[in-house]
Amino acid sequence: MKGSNDTASDSAESFACVWRVMDGRRTAKIRKKLLAWYAVEARDLPWRNTRDPYAILVSEFMLQQTRVQTALGYYGRFLERFPSLEALAKAEIDDVLKAWEGLGYYRRAHNLHRTAQVLLREHDGRLPKSVSELRGLPGIGPYTAGAIASIAFGLDEPVLDGNVVRVLSRLFAVPGAPGRAETRNRLLREAQRLASGGTAAALNQALMDLGARVCLPRSPRCHECPVASACDAHHTGREVEFPQKRKKGPIPRVVGAAGIIWDKEPFSSDAKLLIAKRKADDMLGGLWEFPGGRVEDGESHEEALIRELREELAIEVEVIEPFLQVDHAYTHFRVTLHFFHCRHTGGEPVAIECDEWRWVGVSELDRFAFPTADRKVLEELEVQQG
């Protein structure tokens, strides 16, 4: 005969069982609706028209922290320039950076290049299929590994990018900021449950597209959403409360000064400019720039520039006049750079805080890969050169 404790535990188990079945049905319903919607509404993107794992690898590196629209401007040209994994692996990093110029987050270009070299050397030029092996490659984190495994190899692997996080947070009203491990794990479990039965490639991309086109950050178009009837946030009118936010501090602002350093009269016919290559391990590593650095408290822009050029290249300059001010926002800080025309007055440059330096004519500058802020200087120099 059962005691009261046995009866209570039986009831709890039956309840859990019923709950699991209901949950499973709900997941299946959401999956079915998402796949049906994606079959009709999928965005026509060039990397979706290929099963070539190398092309998918390139697209996934480009899409890390970059909008689809921006990546579209680079993807085709990059593959024309480096049509195979072998071509990329054997290319000079300067050429890879040049093809990546303007796309930002240059660490990705270094990692993609290194990944191609590792694959050629250790994997016979092929991408491994398993997420764990993919994650062992330079620059491949959980998102990129899941995207490659599901899209290129059809494995049931979940992905969590910004769009997917937003959709899942709302669909399941997931509490807590997605940056917290607990929240992330819950989102990953929901993504994993949806991406099953051989559907992950389409399902993952359906979630991405839904986030990009319907489940928008500030004004979700719930009336167009295929899963509105199953969405917890929508049922309670709390769509924009998810994903929940973590309080952020103010974004720091850095002020810098940089020199357009001429060896002769600026813009005279055979005048050359000094450019320096950033250290490979630094932010924007491997890119060329007009040398300079941070303005410290209590320094004028000109004083900071003279000091930085002594520290970075061991040269002396005379600051002639201000040239251009450029404001640029990076992920975690903003920078205001003050560029000055300068004349080189002494010292053979030494690569102390850079990897390399060169004197080049204005017309040659375009051959080198520069960060966005310096490219604005290039454009202005070319205009003034006439």
User: What is residue 326's three-state secondary structure?
Assistant: strand
The answer to whether 206 contacts ligand SF4 (rule: CB under 6 A) is no
31 binds ligand SF4 (CB under 6 A): no
CB half-sphere exposure, 376, CA atoms < 13 A: 13
If binding is defined by CB under 6 A, does position 222 make contact with ligand SF4? yes
User: Residue 220, interface with ligand SF4 (CB under 6 A)?
Assistant: yes
CB of 368 to ligand SF4, least distance (A): 45
Residues 141 and 135: their CA atoms lie apart, in Å, by 6
- Is the CB of 152 or the CB of 159 nearer to ligand SF4? 159
227 touching ligand SF4, by CB under 6 A: yes
CB of 230 to ligand SF4, least distance (A): 8
Which residue, among 216, 210, 206, has the nearest Cα to 242 in the 3D structure?
Answer: 216
Tokens of 348: 């053979």
Q: Give the count of alpha carbons within 13 A of 235, CB side only.
A: 8
| Residue selected from 201, 228, 276, 369 as contacting ligand SF4 according to rule CB under 6 A | 228
CA 158, 63, 109, 254 torsion-angle sign: negative
Nearer to ligand SF4 among residue 43 and residue 294 (C-beta) = 43
Instruction: By CB under 6 A, tell whether 215 contacts ligand SF4.
Output: yes
Asked if 233 interacts with ligand SF4 (CB under 6 A), we say: yes
Those residues whose C-beta lies under 8 Å from the C-beta of residue 141, and which sit 6 or more positions away, are 135
Q: Is 178 in the site for ligand SF4 (CB under 6 A)?
A: no
Print burial letters for 343-367: b (CB count within 10 Å at least 16), e (below 16): bbeeeebeeebbeebeeeebeebee
- Which of 89, 160, 231, 373 is in the footprint of ligand SF4 by CB under 6 A? 231
Q: How many residues bind ligand SF4 (CB under 6 A)?
A: 14
Count helices and strands in the chain by DSSP H and E runs:
14, 7
Q: Does 239 bind ligand SF4 (CB under 6 A)?
A: yes
Sole binder of ligand SF4 in the list 167, 201, 274, 309 (CB under 6 A): 167
| Residues with a known catalytic role | 60
Measured distance CA(320)–CA(295) in Å, rounded: 18
Return residues touching ligand SF4 (CB under 6 A): 167, 170-171, 214-215, 220, 222, 225, 227-228, 231, 233-234, 239
